[in-house]
Amino acid sequence: MMDKKSKIYIAGHRGMVGSAVWRALEADGFTNLIGKTSAELDLRDQVAVTQFISTEKPVVIIDAAARVGGILANNDYPYQFLMENLQIQNNLIDAAHKHGVQKFIFLGSSCIYPKFAPQPLKEEYLLTDSLEPTNEWYAIAKITGVKACEAIRKQYNKDFVSLMPTNLYGSYDNFDLKTSHVLPAMLRKFHEAKENGNTAVTLWGSGTPMREFLCVDDMAEAVVFAVNNVLPEHLYNVGTGKDVTIKELAETIQNVVGHTGEIIWDSEKPDGTPRKLMDVSKLKHAGWAYKIELLEGIKQTYTWFLENQTELKQVKLSK
């Protein structure tokens, strides 16, 4: 078990994943957590990152910082999704290696796996075929981070590990319809349609692709597990091992929100990968498993969304 007084730096501590990790570590008794906003520390700046890590000397770094978004954002900003993610993770990984950080936990995404890889996705399927074109820029950056951590682990025998979560959702998610992922985007669409008299909701694609969803609080618990244990492998999938169709997801969210209008499927819009189900047996064998079921997690997320409506509207107006 890691000493509860160990200094832990959480990169991206104000984002959905980073803030959940912070809460989970505090709940587990850790008392020396540090974080910097993007205004205080630009993680794309190699000199600034190196100086920060050499001065602070954290025992553990958790990299939850990334430029993220859905299909539309990935399609519109391919260069930023590739370059900025490379800059962020490379600066953190290299500084951690050069300045004696004991443990580095790199967080990525299931999109690192090939588009048509066998299901469920096993860790060994990495780099065995071509990627999904709609998010390949982000995926390539994350693959590079995984391989960098593996290389350091192999060459220097350091405790650098990569956790690849399935689709995450929960408190502090991004509900901006232009840049959000599918679940929060649906939740907001159904909510606004309900508020507008249960008007029809138009959703992208056919509704037939299958997706797996993990509550961010469960993801945070997986990170705490990785902090407290030395894991024997360099790469682990993190998920539920269960998936639903996008149509089933939409109907579940519609019921939770209480929207009674029509759902229209725009089949001219892309579906993305037909299925992405994670094989989570490696991490389960190591001793970790999820706890929050999808329906419960959606209810919790909608409650958070409703409680933070004023703040979310202010964020929208400030853009």
Domains of the chain in start order, with CATH, are: 8-174+213-243+275-293 (3.40.50.720)
Q: Is 108 annotated as a binding residue?
A: yes
Q: Is 287 annotated as a binding residue?
A: no
Q: Is 164 annotated as a binding residue?
A: no
- Asked whether residue 319 carries a pLDDT value surpassing 50, the answer given is no
Segment 50-67 shows an average pLDDT of 97
pLDDT tens sequence across 146-168? 999 999 999 999 999 999 999 99
Q: What pTM does this model have?
A: 0.91
Q: Is 82 annotated as a binding residue?
A: no
Measured between its terminal Cα atoms, the distance across the chain in Å is: 43
Q: Is 18 annotated as a binding residue?
A: yes
Segment 294-299 shows an average pLDDT of 98
- Phi-psi group of 207: left, alpha or beta (phi > 0 → left; psi -120 to 50 → alpha; rest → beta): left
E strand map for 130-270 = 159-165, 167-169, 201-204, 210-211, 213-215, 235-238, 244-245, 263-266
8 Å CB contact between 249 and 263: no
Q: Which residues are catalytic?
A: 138
- CA-wise closest residue to 101 among 24, 153, 141, 147: 153
Q: Is 16 annotated as a binding residue?
A: yes
Residue 316: pLDDT band with limits 50, 70, 90: very low
Segment 290-297 shows an average pLDDT of 98
Q: Is 319 annotated as a binding residue?
A: no
Residue 315: pLDDT band with limits 50, 70, 90: very low
Q: Is 67 annotated as a binding residue?
A: no
